[in-house]
Homo-oligomer: A and B are copies of this chain.
């Protein structure tokens, strides 16, 4: 009997989960390195320190935004893997490409925060989120069709639908939000943030 390496590779679901949590944990803390303590000889009073602290508020907001986005995709990732029973080398590599896009998120978020008034910056940020959504959808479809999942028979269709619907609806909302930049860029960013907040703290989307 012959075996090919590709038949036996990437089968450990637990290891994929472990490296994913590691990459997410590092990505979640990478942006903090961008928030520097204001160092200046000119800071001599309480008021001056407070004022210089206010100057880094945009960085704190960016950090908050990035943390929320990473949290949304991490939750999506864990929810899918909760239904996965086993893995194969293709699922292994889909997940690795997903993690590559995750590692880039602190970069595209920083780009957006630095050039918040430019459509190009927003475009790259949106592209990153779009690719993350597509990879997550590909991962689910692949695992579901190859029977790598473990779902009770009578729930299969409902869970498949819920999983796909969530990704597709959120990507349509993100695309709508991003396209608003041709009207007004701050409106566009504001709408995207509201969409994300809504996914983190569910208010409207109870049924989605």
Contact = CB atoms under 8 A, between A and B. Distances in A.
Interface of A: 1-12, 15-19, 21-30, 32-33, 35, 37, 39, 43, 46, 49-50, 53, 63-64, 67, 71, 74-76, 78-79, 81-82, 89, 92-93, 96, 99-100, 103-104, 106-107, 110-111, 114-115, 118-121, 124, 154-155, 158-159, 161-163, 165-166, 200-202, 205-208
A103 B28 contact: yes
Contact of A19 (B74, B103, B106, B200): B74
A17 B15 contact: yes
B30 A33 contact: yes
30 contacts: A1-B154, A2-B158, A4-B162, A4-B206, A5-B208, A8-B82, A9-B79, A10-B79, A12-B79, A15-B17, A17-B18, A18-B18, A18-B21, A19-B24, A19-B74, A22-B26, A23-B25, A23-B28, A28-B99, A32-B104, A32-B107, A33-B33, A37-B107, A46-B118, A53-B111, A71-B96, A74-B96, A75-B93, A75-B96, A93-B201
Nearest 8 A/B pairs, CB to CB: A22-B25, A5-B166, A18-B21, A3-B158, A3-B162, A71-B96, A26-B29, A15-B78
Copies of the chain in the assembly? 4
B3 A205 contact: no
Given A107-B32, A118-B49, A9 B75 contact: yes
A12 B121 CA distance: 35
A165 to B, nearest CB: 7
Contacts of A2: 158, 161-162
Given A18-B17, A71-B93, A107-B32, A120 B6 contact: no
B82 A96 contact: no
B23 A155 contact: no
A79 B165 contact: no
B120 A53 contact: yes
B162 A12 contact: no
